[in-house]
A and B are shown apart, each in its own frame.
Chain A
Amino acid sequence: NAGVMQNPRHLVRRRGQEARLRCSPMKGHSHVYWYRQLPEEGLKFMVYLQKENIIDESGMPKERFSAEFPKEGPSILRIQQVVRGDSAAYFCASSPRSTTGELFFGEGSRLTVL
């Protein structure tokens, strides 16, 4: 049973470009969470999704950031018109149900904005 798969592992973008980060949850998991981690800091919640629904996006910046989890395919975190401050590691986690149990994390996608 494969774990949470994130790609790309590393992404370099210039200011103003778009970044798309993908997350395939573990098999059987219908709950997906995205977190952002700046260097030397903890994990900041961004968004919680179930299939075709955004449940909680209270941690998402109001502009340029969006997330989806379509019926088919991976969850996508999209950052438009990236700025240097978007440089961070973005982690996806999945669970088979809403949060009372374990979250299973991917290895992260590291975005560098030049």
Chain B
Amino acid sequence: TQLLEQSPQFLSIQEGENLTVYCNSSSVFSSLQWYRQEPGEGPVLLVTVVTGGEVKKLKRLTFQFGDARKDSSLHITAAQPGDTGLYLCAPIQGAQKLVFGQGTRLTINP
């Protein structure tokens, strides 16, 4: 059984600070997706990482897929209040359903 852990579970920082959140597992993934869910809404896909060691940038967000394809990180530079939300990772292992981690609940204070 795949064990998926996201950390930290909660994070509250000031606007302008940098932060990193993590997604770790005991299993190897073929690829992994990151979603962001804003309060009162459904999750929205941010990125899909496919290759071990891959780094993808989306404006101030940098996503990295571990070399062994068992973990991933999301780094946000100069966080803004609009970054507030629940960040969910979802590994893809060929199963037909997408299983999400517990998420990191991020709050950026103005």
Contact = CB atoms under 8 A, between A and B. Distances in A.
Interface string B78-110: 000000001010001001111111110100000
B96 A42 contact: no
A100 B97 contact: no
A33 B96 CA distance: 10
Interface in A19-74: 33, 35, 40-45, 48, 55-56, 58-59
Q: Give the secondary structure class of A's interface.
A: loop
Given A33-B97, A33-B98, A99-B96, A43 B45 contact: no
Contacts of B86: 42
A105 B43 contact: yes
A88 interface: no
A45 B98 CA distance: 7
Interface in A57-107: 58-59, 91, 93, 98-103, 105-107
B88 A99 contact: no
B103 A42 contact: yes
A111 interface: no
Interface residues of B, number: 23
A69 B85 CA distance: 31
A67 to B, nearest CB: 13
A99 B98 contact: yes
A42 B42 contact: no
B29 to A, nearest CB: 12
A44 B43 CA distance: 13
Interface of B: 6, 31, 33, 40-45, 48, 86, 88, 92, 95-103, 105
Given A43-B43, A48-B96, A91-B43, 13 more contacts: A41-B102, A42-B88, A42-B102, A43-B88, A43-B100, A45-B97, A48-B97, A56-B97, A59-B97, A93-B42, A102-B45, A105-B44, A106-B42
User: What 9 A-B pairs are tightest by C-beta distance, nearest first?
Assistant: A105-B42, A42-B103, A42-B102, A102-B45, A43-B100, A98-B96, A48-B97, A99-B98, A42-B100
